[in-house]
């Protein structure tokens, strides 16, 4: 589950098969799809989270690293919503500040994956031939490492700053995003609007950026939401190996609270952030799923 490749479009896309909506390119008003209430709830949660993270310095929160913000090892109370940990730090404040790192890592990672993987996939799908072979082999090699192992390899050779960890997880996202972009480009490059652009003498670069990119971006948007969830989880996994950022992230907080004694005496230190993290991943997965269904990207994801 922590692996980017396992969320693979294939597994999720196949679920769509028995869909009733005929894919003839015409949108019938009767079957026009809606994003649904669930989507907006998910987006609402994500929005609330982002707002809290942005406003964190102005909120009446304890310092996340302040010792003795309350008595040590107390359960949730009005003063400390999520209780305090073994060092008396306020778990709620830590969760909010942890969200900062986790969300930033997730966002940078998927943004990097989109830009690098997307461009590589676009180039591979557009030019085909040798270029495609080389780029596809690169993707294949990247996918041949179990994801977390590759992340461990990179963070252990470099440092453990926020930037390195984010970019590492970004590298993991390159291959899955790239493969999707390539597959989508292969399909759309055959379409009339691309041929038309070619006929009027548009340059390769222009065709790729002005004609292909906008249509390829749609399936990628769905993957971006799913991928952000995967990146946040992967960061948590790295934190469990003590190889993530030297800062507070959700993974770090959960890892702090998972010792046998901590779990026995004050399980909320681990369970509260787990709950918040679960809701966030759920929201990202759900929103991503809805976006994919809404735009019906089955067509592009299926073709190889």
Partner 1 sequence: MKQFILRRVAQLVLVVFAVTFLTFASLNLVGDPLFNIVGVLSGIPDEQCEAVERGEISDTQSSGLNMGDCALIAQAKEQNNLDKNVVERYGIWLSDMVSGDFGTSFVNGDEISDIVRERLPVTIRLIVLAQIVALGIAIPWGVASAYRANRGFDKVSTVGSFGLLSIPNFALGVILLYFFALRWQIFPSRYENAGWWSELKALTLPALTLGLGLAATYQRLLRTDLITTLQEDFVHMARAKGMSDRHIMYRHALRPSMFSVITVFGVNTGALIGGALVVEQIFSIPGIGTELVEAVLRNDPPVVISLISVVAIGFVLINFFVDLMYGYLDPRVRTS
Residues of this chain that interact with partner 1 (CB under 8 A) are 1-3, 5-6, 8, 10-12, 14-15, 17-18, 137, 140-141, 144-149, 152-154, 156-158, 229, 233, 236-237, 240-243, 251, 254-255, 258, 260, 263-264, 267, 270-271, 274, 277-278, 281-282, 285-286, 304
Tell the smallest beta-carbon distance from residue 249 to partner 1 (Å): 12
Euclidean distance between CA atoms 78 and 168, whole angstroms: 39
Tell the smallest beta-carbon distance from residue 59 to partner 1 (Å): 25
Tell the smallest beta-carbon distance from residue 104 to partner 1 (Å): 18
Whether the Cβ atoms of residue 109 and residue 173 lie closer than 8 Å to each other:
yes
Whether the Cβ atoms of residue 84 and residue 90 lie closer than 8 Å to each other:
yes
Closer residue to partner 1, CB minimum distance, 10 or 63: 10
Closer residue to partner 1, CB minimum distance, 93 or 281: 281
Q: Is the dihedral of CA 263, 91, 287, 226 positive or negative?
A: negative
Tell the smallest beta-carbon distance from residue 102 to partner 1 (Å): 11
Q: Would you give the DSSP letter of residue 146?
A: -
Closer residue to partner 1, CB minimum distance, 80 or 266: 266
Closer residue to partner 1, CB minimum distance, 189 or 232: 232
Look up residue 195 and give its two tokens.
């041929």
In three-state secondary structure terms, 293 is helix
Tell the smallest beta-carbon distance from residue 54 to partner 1 (Å): 24
Please identify which residue in the block is written with the tokens 């749609």: 218
Closer residue to partner 1, CB minimum distance, 62 or 132: 132
Phi/psi for 90 (5° steps) reads -80, 115
Whether the Cβ atoms of residue 227 and residue 174 lie closer than 8 Å to each other:
no
Euclidean distance between CA atoms 21 and 27, whole angstroms: 9
Tell the smallest beta-carbon distance from residue 142 to partner 1 (Å): 9
Tell the smallest beta-carbon distance from residue 160 to partner 1 (Å): 11
Closer residue to partner 1, CB minimum distance, 110 or 148: 148
Euclidean distance between CA atoms 65 and 213, whole angstroms: 44
Closer residue to partner 1, CB minimum distance, 18 or 201: 18
Whether the Cβ atoms of residue 248 and residue 97 lie closer than 8 Å to each other:
yes
- Which own/partner contact pairs does 99-102 have at CB distance under 8 Å and 24+ positions apart? 99/49, 99/52, 99/53, 99/250, 99/276, 99/280, 100/53, 100/56, 101/162, 101/235, 101/245, 101/247, 101/248, 101/249, 101/250, 102/232, 102/235, 102/236, 102/249, 102/250, 102/251, 102/277
Closer residue to partner 1, CB minimum distance, 84 or 255: 255
Tell the smallest beta-carbon distance from residue 256 to partner 1 (Å): 11
């Amino acid at each position: 589950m922590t692996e980017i490749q396992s969320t693979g479009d294939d597994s999720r896309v196949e679920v769509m098969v028995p869909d009733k909506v005929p894919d003839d390119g015409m949108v019938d008003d009767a079957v026009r799809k809606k994003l649904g209430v669930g989507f907006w709830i998910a987006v609402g949660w994500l929005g609330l989270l982002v707002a809290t993270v942005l406003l964190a310095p102005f909120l009446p929160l304890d310092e996340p690293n302040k010792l003795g913000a309350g008595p040590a090892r107390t359960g949730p109370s009005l003063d400390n919503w999520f209780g305090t940990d073994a060092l008396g730090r306020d778990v709620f404040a830590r969760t909010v500040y942890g969200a900062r790192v986790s969300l930033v890592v997730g966002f940078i990672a998927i943004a990097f994956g989109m830009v690098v993987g997307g461009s590589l996939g676009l180039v591979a799908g557009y030019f085909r031939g040798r270029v495609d072979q080389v780029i596809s082999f690169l993707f294949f090699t990247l996918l041949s490492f179990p994801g977390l192992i590759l992340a461990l390899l990179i963070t252990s050779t470099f440092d453990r700053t926020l930037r390195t960890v984010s970019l590492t997880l970004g590298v993991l996202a390159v291959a899955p995003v790239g493969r999707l972009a390539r597959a989508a480009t292969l399909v759309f490059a055959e379409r009339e609007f691309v041929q038309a652009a070619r006929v009027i003498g548009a340059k390769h670069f222009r065709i790729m950026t002005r004609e292909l990119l906008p249509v390829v971006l749609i399936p990628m948007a769905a993957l971006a939401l799913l991928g952000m969830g995967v990146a946040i989880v992967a960061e948590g996994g790295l934190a469990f190996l003590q190889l993530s950022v030297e800062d507070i992230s959700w993974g770090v907080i959960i890892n702090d609270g998972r010792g046998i004694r901590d779990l026995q005496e004050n399980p909320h230190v681990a369970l509260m952030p787990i709950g918040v993290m679960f809701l966030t991943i759920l929201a990202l997965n759900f929103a991503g799923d809805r976006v994919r269904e809404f735009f019906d990207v089955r067509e592009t994801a299926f073709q190889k």
